[in-house]
Amino acid sequence: MEELVKLAKIFSDLNRLKILALIIRDKEVCVCEVCDTLELSQPLVSRHLKQMKEADVFNARQEGKWVIYSLNENIHPTLECWIAEIKKELPSLPKLMACSTK
């Protein structure tokens, strides 16, 4: 039951849903790509990504000085419903802005 509450809190924020949608669509993204694409500050995006990583929604790997985020393959079954709904919204997302510092 606690896991469901944790996930509900994670996805009660529109920006976190948009970040999830970007990662579903583009498979892997770095913080700067999310910042540039969604026009959000780096500290805000980093905080959101950290929360979702701690909830086992995302995996993260270091690539040079960048951290690359991707969807965790072993997601909680409840997330499958969220993902199905988010996939319907993918056409409304802005095009991913390539990281200008890579």
pLDDT at 100: 61
Reading the block at residue 36, the tokens are 């540039």
Domain residue spans in the chain? 2-91
pLDDT at 31: 93
For the segment(s) 2-91, the CATH number from 1.20.1730.10, 2.60.120.10, 1.10.150.20, 1.10.10.10 is: 1.10.10.10
Radius of gyration (Cα) for the chain, nearest Å?
Answer: 13
The four Cα atoms 41, 63, 71, 25 give a dihedral, to 10 degrees, of: 70
Q: Over the chain (102 residues), what is each successive 10-residue block's mean pLDDT?
A: 80 92 94 93 95 91 92 84 86 82 54
